[in-house]
Structure 1
Amino acid sequence: MSTILRKLPPTEATGLRTGARHSLAELYRPADLVVLGLGVMIGAGIFSIAGEQAATTAGPGVIISFMIAGIACLLACLCYAELSSTMPTSGSAYTFTYVIFGEVWAWIIGWALILELQFAAAVVARAWGAIAVGALTNFGLRVPNADLVQDLLVVVILVLLTGIVALGARIGLRALWVMVSAKLLAIGAVIVVGLPHIDVANFGEFYVPPKTLDAAPATVLEIFYGESQAFGWFGVFAAASAIAFAYIGFDIVATSAEETVNARRAVPRGMIRSLVIATVVYLAVALVMIGMVSYTRISEVGPLASAFRAVGEGWMAHVIDAGAVLGLTTVILVLIVGQTRVLFSMARDGLIPHGLASVSRRYHTPTRVTLVIGLVAIVLAEFVPVIQMRELVVIGTLFAFAFVAAGVIVMRRRMPDLERGFRVPLSPLLPALSLVATLWLLVNLRVLTWAWFALWMAFGLVVYLLYGRRHSLLASPQTPARTTPHGRHRR
């Protein structure tokens, strides 16, 4: 038991300088981290999630749902900010857990992050292919054999973005700046064109009387509640759970800490600022959508485009298509970057094959693990029904959120003297509230998702017991000496 609960010393997590065992070059500055966060948090969902949740779950109360979701995610973001400022490492929640709770728990979180990021890249790539085909059709182009074209587009986008990440973080960063700027322009056009068409009467009293649904309970919460409901306050909070998933992604900013200048201060600021900006942008688009058309007339398919058609601005559908394609492109790019950094850290610690931690001398990036991630994403996107299993992305993320919130409380007690560039205010109250909010989101997931997650984690524990436990660098009698990917030792 003591073997699997061995902990990574904080000095080993943070290395010789302010970043974690600097094998990766410093690249990111505060503004870059904000772009990184916006790149992954603002995807195609910004054009649809408000309409979908208003039409089916919360009515005009979806505006309140966005506020609740923003607060819940901000609590988690504050917890990530403190731990990132204490241990600025590419491993993010995996390394935090390694230091605070021990190796087996770190493996569990690392395994959950693999599920989150790898599945997310495949899910978003699949959605990107469908939206790209739809955009071509909307522009009047005839697309023969749409399914085959979609499959080819998925492969093309994953190969292209994997290549960009493998060839160097600086190239990926420049591409990200261009694409994020372009999609923000598209979102700005949505807000500016939609504002004059807002009718205050469409907001009503932000409350729609609750309605019992005929569907059988599917989520953990519905099973305990005994029935499925929509609208009312139950609907507002249920929609908040769905909306919170759109904000998920700020945690990936933490994986860039090792490559960030003055990471102890820059990473917390980058995460918090990107989340606040994303929340404001989502809320602005939601206000425009709900204000233009009554929730009873919102289409569940392409809700924002249909809202603009209803007010005589049908040409905006092309702007929305362009924004959606750009939005998902940046999401895939950042997901590949985040997954690369997490696996790089796990390999560097010996829990997965150490060869994956090699850094290319030419491109100064973990090229080998990047190519593996890209290949796995292609296989998942093409041969696994990832769209139907997309909630696995969410449960992996929320599992990490829970450990990070608990980690802030535990680290304050056990390691009060560690240098922190940021501290969660009102601790342990706010971390405890973050833990409660995370548990709320978890019980709003389907029972089937929990079953698949349990199987994934059980498989992961077998892998750890057969490989990770024995190959961990902490199992070596010379634990304090860490080997960099180029063979040099540090103490």
Structure 2
Amino acid sequence: MRRLPPSEATGLRTGARHSLAEVYRPADLIVLGLGVMIGAGIFSIAGQQAATTAGPGVILSFMIAGIACLLACLCYAELSSTMPTSGSAYTFTYVIFGEVWAWIIGWALILELQFAAAVVARAWGGIAVGAIENFGVQVPQKELVQDALVFLILVVLTGTVALGARIGLRALWIMVSAKLLAIGAVIVVGLPHIDVANFGEFYVPPKTLDTAPATVLEILVGQGQAFGWFGIFAAASAIAFAYIGFDIVATAAEETTNAPRAVPKGMIRSLVVATVIYIAVALVMVGMVSYTQISEDAPLASAFRAVGVGWMVHVIDAGAVLGLSTVILVLIVGQTRVLFSMARDGLIPRGLASVSRRYHTPTRVTLVIGLVAILLAEFVPVLTMQELVVIGTLFAFAFVAAGVIVMRRRMPHLERGFRVPFSPLLPALSLVATLWLMVNLRVLTWAWFILWMAFGLGVYLVYGRRNSILARPRAPEWQPAAGGRHRR
């Protein structure tokens, strides 16, 4: 249960070879957040949830999910302003709760980010093939072509991240700008075709599902339901997946100028902008056609075809391809920084914390992450396991919310660039909202998550516990303090 001293969490405790250069400005952090939060899902998730779960009330679902994620974002903002380090929730937990809990959160983040990169890359390949076919080009051996495209995008984006943060940042700005133009076109072109009658009453009478209960919540209530208030809140849980990613902004803290103030602003502003954009697209989606006529496979594209604007399909395809490209790029950046921090702390091989003198980035760990993502995307059915990404993220959200409450009591003296208002009320609400989202996940997802965490705990006991920097003899200026802590 040894805890990392706060001064060591943000200090260059392992020398210049393990430090990262400052490259991000406040505006860059907003682009980083939008790059990962706004993907291809913006063109599909509103229609899918409206058709199957919430009806026109999906707009309320977006608001509910946005509020739940904003509560978590505020908690991340306070901790990242206090400990601006690349480890994000992993390092926060190391300082507040102790090493074993930090390992558990780090292991959950590995699950989130590594699987997410593979899942999104696989989806990118399918969308890219579909975009080619929408131009009337026949694609022979689709599966083989998709595999090749997945391999290509992961190689290109891994190389971009490995070659330097500045190169990746420039590429991100270009792709996010183009993606926002495509989304803007969807909103502007779709607005004149909105029929207010399609909104009807936001509340659609509930419908009991014939399928067996699959989520924890459905088992607790004894049955599954769609529509009604139950459906609106259930859709909010699915939609929360679209907002996940603002937490990755915190992993850039060590590379950000004036991080204690810039990182909280970057996270909050990017989440607010993403929420507004999602709600705007949802209004257009539900307003153009009745929710009963929405196609689940390609909801937005089919809606534009229904109102006679078929050429918008190509704009949507371009936006989706660019959207997922930026998501993969930011996920690789985030995963690199988390593993870099864990290696720097000795919990995984310290060689992965080496920073390239030529490119000034942790190139070695970046290449490892890219290779693993390629193997997962090419040889594992990752699209059936995407809920593992969500549960890993939400698990970290819960610890961050609890961490704000605990740190206010244990370490009130620490300087904070941002404070969660109305604490401990808002962090407690964030914890409750996170738990609500988690019980809406499938029981099978929980089972796989428990197995993953049990395996990770075994890895820690065999390797991490013995090789941690806190397990090694300290230099003379280090003296043990009361309670097992360390001080200079």
Q: Which TM-score band (shorter chain)?
A: over 0.9
Of 50, 62, 73 in structure 2, the residue corresponding to residue 54 of structure 1 is 50
Note if 1:124 corresponds to 2:124: no
- Pick aligned residue for 1:105 from 101, 106, 112: 101
2:199 to 188, 199, 203: 203
- Any residues of structure 2 matched to 1:220-369 within 5 Å, and which? 220-369=216-365
Contact 2:347 2:463 in 1 (8 A): yes
- Picking from 178, 197, 208, the partner of 1:182 is 178
Instruction: Give the 5 Å matches for 1:449-460.
Output: 449-460=445-456
Question: After the TM superposition, which residues 367-386 of structure 1 pair with which residues of structure 2 at under 5 Å, given as runs?
Answer: 367-386=363-382
Counting matched residue pairs gives 477
1:26 has 2:26 as partner: no
Name the SS for the 2:423 alignment partner: coil
Overall identity of the aligned pairs, in %: 88
Q: Per-residue deviation at 1:432?
A: 0.1
Distance 2:7 2:18 in 1: 13
1:444-490 CA-to-partner distances (Å, cap 9, x unmatched) read 000000000000000000000000000000001217889xxxxxxxx
Instruction: For 1:67-106, list aligned pairs within 5 A.
Output: 67-106=63-102
Name the CA distance, whole Å, in 2 between partners of 1:22 and 1:261. 18
List per-residue Cα deviations over 1:196-236 (Å, max 9, x = no partner).
Answer: 00011111110100000100000000000100100000000
2:58 is the counterpart of 1:42: no
Give 1:487's aligned residue. Answer: none
Q: Is the Cα contact below 8 Å between 1:12 and 1:480 reproduced in 2? A: no
Judge conservation of contact 2:12–2:19 (CA < 8 Å) in 1.
no
Matched residues in 1 for 2:325 and 2:241: separation? Answer: 18
The one-letter code of the counterpart of 1:364 is H
Distance between the aligned counterparts of 1:295 and 1:195, measured in 2?
Answer: 17
SS of the equivalent of 1:388 reads helix
Spell out the pairing of 1:389-408 with structure 2 (5 A cutoff). Answer: 389-408=385-404
**Aligned mates of 2:381, 2:365 — CA distance in 1:** 24
Q: Distance in 1 between matches of 2:170 and 2:83?
A: 27
Using the alignment, how far apart are the partners of 1:76 and 1:481 within structure 2?
A: 38
Over 3 Å counting, the alpha-carbon distance change for 1:228 and 1:410 in structure 2 is same
Distance 1:167 1:447 in 2: 41
- Report the alpha carbon displacement of residue 440 of structure 1 after superposing the two structures with TM: 0.2
Task: State whether residues 38 and 274 of structure 1, in contact with CA within 8 Å, keep that contact through their aligned partners in structure 2.
Answer: yes
User: What is the CA–CA distance in structure 1 between the aligned matches of 2:75 and 2:387, rounded to whole Å?
Assistant: 23
C-alpha separation in 1, matches of 2:107 and 2:40: 27
User: Residue 142 of structure 1: CA displacement?
Assistant: 1.4
CA distance in 1, matches of 2:434, 2:391: 10
How big is the shift at 1:86? Answer: 0.1
CA distance in 2, matches of 1:94, 1:225: 34
**1:145-164 Cα distance to aligned partner (Å, 9 max, x none):** 00000000000000000000
Measure how far apart 1:14 and its partner are: 1.5
- Aligned counterpart, 1:486: none
Gaps of 5+ in 2: 479-487
SS at the partner of 2:384? Answer: coil
Matched residue of 1:195: which SS?
A: helix
Q: Distance in 1 between matches of 2:463 and 2:477?
A: 21
Take 1:206 and 1:80, find their aligned partners in 2: how far apart are those partners?
Answer: 33
Offset of residue 245 of structure 1: 1.0
Shift of 1:141: 1.3
The amino acid that maps onto 2:217 is L
Q: Are residue 216 (structure 1) and residue 212 (structure 2) matched?
A: yes
Q: CA deviation at 1:21?
A: 10
Contact between 1:241 and 1:444, CA under 8 Å: does it hold in 2?
Answer: yes
| Counterpart residue type for residue 397 of structure 1 | T
Q: Contact 2:18 / 2:353 at 8 angstroms: preserved in 1?
A: no
Query: 1:445: which partner in 2?
Result: 441
CA contact (8 A) 1:62 1:236 kept: yes
- Contact kept? 1:35, 1:274, Cα under 8 Å: yes
CA RMSD, aligned part only? 1.3
CA distance in 1, matches of 2:419, 2:450: 33
Q: Pick closer, same or farther for the CA change 1:432–1:40 going to 2, 3 Å.
A: same
Runs (4 or more) in structure 1 with deviation over 4 Å come to 479-482
Are the equivalent residues in 2 in contact too, given 1:12–1:21 (CA < 8 A)? no
Residues 63-95 of structure 1, C-alpha deviation per residue, up to 9 Å, x if partnerless? 110110100000000000000000000000000
For residues 151-201 of structure 1, give each alpha carbon's deviation from its aligned partner in whole angstroms, at most 9, with x where no partner exists: 000000000000000000000000000000000000000000000000111
Q: Does structure 2 retain, via aligned residues, the 8 Å contact 1:252–1:335?
A: yes
Distance in 2 between residues matched to 1:412 and 1:205, nearest whole Å: 44
For 1:468, which of 449, 464, 467 is the aligned residue?
464
TM-score where L is the length of structure 1:
0.96
Deviations 1:264-301 (A, max 9, x none): 00000000000000000000000001000000000001
Amino acid paired to 1:165: V
Q: Tell me the SS of whatever aligns to 2:214.
A: coil
* Structure 1: runs of 5+ lacking an equivalent: 483-490
Partners in 1 of 2:83 and 2:429 — Cα distance? 23
Tell me: CA distance 1:479–1:465, structure 2 relative to 1, closer, same or farther (3 Å). Answer: farther
Distance (whole Å) between structure 1 residues aligned to residue 289 and residue 424 of structure 2: 43
| 139, 152, 167: which one aligns with 2:135 | 139
Q: 1:137 to 1:431 in 2, by over 3 A?
A: same
Deviation at 1:367, TM superposition (A): 0.2
In 1, Cα distance between equivalents of 2:477 and 2:127: 49
Aligned residue in 1 for 2:483: none
Change (3 A) 1:11 1:285: same
